[in-house]
Amino acid sequence: MTTVVLNGVAPLAHLGVIRAEGPDAAAFLHGQLTQDFSLLGAAEARLAALCTAKGRVIASFIGIRPQPDLVLLVCSRDILAATLKRLSMYVLRAKAKLSDASEQFALLGLAGTALAANGLDASAAPGQRRAIEGIEGGSAISLYPADGVPRALWLAPAGSAAPQGAALDAALWSWSEVRSGIVTLTTPVVEAFVPQMINYESVGGVNFKKGCYPGQEVVARSQFRGTLKRRTYLVKADGEVAAGQEVFAASDAEQPVGTVAQAAPAPDGGWAALISMQIAALEAGGLHAASASGPALQVEPLPYPLLEDI
């Protein structure tokens, strides 16, 4: 196996930004998403999900609140328009304006030595946000590492000076996203999971102390009544896999045991994927994507611990 060098700056054209501004922006999102935005500090970034009334995730975000009346939500561009439309339906009389701000920002991924080259703390824990020195309105957000390599999200107004660092291929960044263990929701898996099925309660994406939001009762019941039967696992595949494909165990070629949540080609061959599947299927083994004879899946350790059901 070749050693993968994950250093540099990658363009993130697949991501977009929803801007929520106004005196009620944070309070409005607090009532819609799984995360506490009312108490979110300017030095913090949080994962969050938007769910249906049945607790199914229809969008996932990295959210920051750089100013008291401003929240920025980074999400996959392919679901942004539908997500913005859905959220806007519920603004009603709240003093908040939601808009697609994707063209107003440059989104870049920094990995390895590129963090220090731009004055960022490579040891910062995931979920920290800092203002970018010399760039008004710029934010650097610490992400979960990939195979121990530190990573950050660079969010700056369009036209700002680019961060220092060698060019990093976007495909290599996509692979690092999978290796980090954090699922970014895209169109093929909209409404496929409750937050715990993609481990969001284990990586700070669900706040169980906050008030109601759509699907909150289902999400809480899954957590506190021990009804969760599926988790997301990191796997290597010996062939091409894609988000939305079903996962099968060798013991049953007819009934799928899970779903591919996210996938990317690996630089040393094969594919990396995050699969949400029945916990019992992990012990059974013999996993394949798309069909019982599809690409074989080898489960690897997650880069973070899973919280036990309470």
What are the tens digits of pLDDT across the range 136-187?
A: 999 999 999 999 999 999 999 999 999 999 999 999 999 999 999 999 999 9
Please say if the pLDDT value at position 1 is more than 60.
Answer: no
Residue 104 or residue 282, greater confidence: 104
Domain-embedded: residue 188: no
Of 150, 179, 208, the domain-final residue: 179
Pick the range with the lowest mean pLDDT from 32-36, 112-116, 174-178, 214-218. 214-218
Average per-residue pLDDT in the chain? 94
Of 162, 179, 196, the domain-final residue: 179
Listed in sequence order, the DSSP H helices in the chain are 25-30, 77-88, 113-117, 170-179, 216-224, 279-284
Q: What is the extent of the structural domain holding 114?
A: 8-179
Domain-embedded: residue 152: yes
Query: How much is the pLDDT for 2?
Result: 46
Query: How much is the pLDDT for 280?
Result: 87
Listed in sequence order, the DSSP H helices in 59-215 are 77-88, 113-117, 170-179
Residue 173 shares a structural domain with residue 233: no
Per residue in 48-67, pLDDT tens?
999 999 999 999 999 999 99
Residue 136 shares a structural domain with residue 266: no
Query: How much is the pLDDT for 3?
Result: 61
Whole-angstrom Cα distance, residue 293 to residue 136? 53
Query: How much is the pLDDT for 117?
Result: 97
Q: Tell me the pTM.
A: 0.94
Domain CATH for 94: 3.30.1360.120
DSSP-based three-state secondary structure for 193: coil
Q: With the CA atoms of 110, 301, 47 and 111 taken in that order, what torsion angle do they form, in degrees rounded to the nearest 10?
A: 0
Binned at pLDDT 50, 70 and 90, residue 310 comes out as: very low
Please say if the pLDDT value at position 4 is more than 90.
Answer: no
Strands 129-131 and 139-142: antiparallel
Whole-angstrom Cα distance, residue 41 to residue 14? 27
Q: With the CA atoms of 278, 299, 260 and 201 taken in that order, what torsion angle do they form, in degrees rounded to the nearest 10?
A: 60
Considering its fold, how many domains does the chain have in total?
2
Query: How much is the pLDDT for 229?
Result: 84
From the number of C-beta atoms within 10 Å of its C-beta (0-12, 13-18, 19+), residue 305 rates as exposed
Domain-embedded: residue 196: no
Domain-embedded: residue 208: no
**DSSP state letter for 9:** E
Residue 8's closest CA among 109, 122, 78, 119? Answer: 109
Q: Is 4 left (phi over 0), alpha (psi -120 to 50) or beta?
A: beta
Query: How much is the pLDDT for 283?
Result: 81
**DSSP state letter for 22:** S
Per residue in 218-265, pLDDT tens?
888 776 666 678 999 999 999 999 999 999 998 888 999 999 999 999
Residue 157 shares a structural domain with residue 14: yes
Size (the chain), residues:
310
Of 144, 162, 179, the domain-final residue: 179
Average pLDDT over residues 95-121: 97
Query: How much is the pLDDT for 211?
Result: 77
Residue 146 shares a structural domain with residue 32: yes
Domain-embedded: residue 284: yes
Domain-embedded: residue 223: no
